[in-house]
Amino acid sequence: MATIIKDKTPRFGIGEWFGKVLTGLDAVERRYYAAETLREKRLRDSQPCPFQALKQDPKCTKEGGVCSLRLYAHATHPETGRAVGEPIHGQQGELRATCPYRFHERREVFKWVGETILGDSNPGLIGEVGFLEAGATTDADGGDDVGRIDMVLVKSNQATGNQSSGVPLADIAMEWCALEIQAVYFSGDAMKGEFKALADESVDWVVFPSGRRRPDYRSSAPKRLMPQLQIKVPTLRRWGRKMAVVVDRAFFDSIGEMDNVTDLSNADIAWFVVRFEEVPGSPYSRLVRDEVRYTTLERSVDGLTGGKPVPKAVFEERVRAKMKQ
């Protein structure tokens, strides 16, 4: 019996699944992945991750294996009359990364950041370096790491030492920058409904998303990314170091306007914006460089906040209106 969907407005569904574009998978592969995600976690087969370029034999660690979301339009299968999902093209149809490992593909962003900030396309990559230490309190002696820099990129001669000069590594002025990668969270219906629909043996096409969900930039930008920058960048600025932030095109376009500076030397933050382009004839998409923007911490916070304060009179009128309720 055909599934009747009353609300036919476009919906967000799986973009990439275990590293592959959903629309590039055949029915057998889709049903296999769906069945695996619905099994008890301890019984699932480990799935390889094609994006984790920093690990040997990397495995997917994301629950459900959804790498990105995309927007689908409603269509009708010509034979069955059931709902079919057709990817929307153009800016609205861009893949939106939901897993930070999606940005690790081929180490491309690390090369790009290294070239731009350090003048080195092959920097050393150091993960999770302790940055803040807790002070002594009634219940703790202090000294524990309470905050970390997610990744530090070090100019390659710092990572290996300059053996030819005979100068000890500790005596070489270290050149490095910090790196923050931000994927988007989503809000709304969980993905389990999509997995169940794709596990249906009678379905041999991409179904229209069964749930309603959306990329939640309001949580990902001001609630997650902004505090990280506010905590880390002031100290990096005093140290004379830069913060690189990597996001995708859709994420960056969700941020409010930021005043840009023309030269890296006057910036606190360098925004590296990427896109994901589908590869014809392949089940994969490819991360590509899109744009670099330089800005200060203050202007970045303005953009991440994404709003301007209303006039005082308007605010007070709203207070009065609530007082009457």
Measured at the CA of 295, the angle between CA 294 and CA 296, to 5 degrees, comes to 145
Assess whether 85 and 199 both reside in one domain: yes
| Rounded distance between C-alpha atoms, residue 124 and residue 133, angstroms | 24
Looking at the structure of the chain, the number of domains it has is: 2
Assess whether 45 and 117 both reside in one domain: no
Assess whether 88 and 134 both reside in one domain: no
Assess whether 72 and 52 both reside in one domain: yes
Predicted confidence (pLDDT) per residue in 195-215, tens digit = 999 999 988 889 999 899 999
Q: Which of 198, 215, 232 is the last residue of a domain?
A: 215
Comparison of pLDDT for 159 and 86, the residue scoring more? 86
pLDDT at 2: 42
Assess whether 71 and 109 both reside in one domain: no
Assess whether 68 and 54 both reside in one domain: yes
| Rounded distance between C-alpha atoms, residue 282 and residue 299, angstroms | 40
Assess whether 209 and 255 both reside in one domain: no
Cβ proximity of 263 and 198 under 8 Å? no
Predicted confidence (pLDDT) per residue in 68-102, tens digit = 999 999 998 888 888 899 999 999 999 999 999 99
- pTM to 2 decimal places: 0.87
Q: What per-residue string of b and e applies to 177-198 under the rule 16 or more CB within 10 Å gives b?
A: bbbbbbbbebeeeebeebbebb
Cβ proximity of 246 and 274 under 8 Å? yes
Assess whether 166 and 245 both reside in one domain: yes
pLDDT at 4 over 70: no
pLDDT at 148: 84
Is residue 84 a part of any domain in this protein?
yes
pLDDT at 1 over 50: no
Range of the domain at 199: 11-99+187-215
Assess whether 171 and 88 both reside in one domain: no
Helix-helix angle 297-305:226-239, to 10 degrees: 180
Measured at the CA of 235, the angle between CA 181 and CA 261, to 5 degrees, comes to 65
Is residue 4 a part of any domain in this protein?
no
Q: Residue 77: is it exposed, middle or buried by C-beta count within 10 angstroms (0-12/13-18/19+)?
A: middle
Is residue 318 a part of any domain in this protein?
no
Is residue 151 a part of any domain in this protein?
yes
Is residue 31 a part of any domain in this protein?
yes
Assess whether 15 and 76 both reside in one domain: yes
Assess whether 165 and 264 both reside in one domain: yes
Assess whether 33 and 106 both reside in one domain: no
Is residue 1 a part of any domain in this protein?
no
Is residue 5 a part of any domain in this protein?
no
Nearest partner of 156 among 124, 184, 132, 127, judged by Cα: 124
pLDDT at 290: 98
pLDDT at 168 over 60: no
Is residue 324 a part of any domain in this protein?
no
Nearest partner of 290 among 310, 303, 274, 313, judged by Cα: 274
What string of H, E and C letters represents the secondary structure of the chain? CCCCCCCCCCEEEEEEECCEEHHHCCHHHHHHHHHHHHCCHHHCCCCECCCCCCCCCCECCCCCCEEEEEEEEEEECCCCCCEEEEECCCHHHCCEECCHHHHHHHHHHHHHHHHHHHCCCCCEEEEEEEEEECCCCCCCCCCCEEEEEEEEEECHHHHHCCCCCCCCHHHCCCCEEEEEECCCCEEECCCHHHHHHHHCCCCCCCECCCCCEEECHHHHHHHHHHHHHHHHHHHHHHHCCCEEEEEEHHHHHHCCCCCCCCCHHHCCEEEEEEEEEECCCCCCEEEEEEEEEEECHHHHHHHHHCCCCCCHHHHHHHHHHHHCC
Query: Residue 180 forms beta bridges with which residues?
Result: 245
Lowest-confidence range among 154-163, 164-173, 218-227, 292-301? 164-173
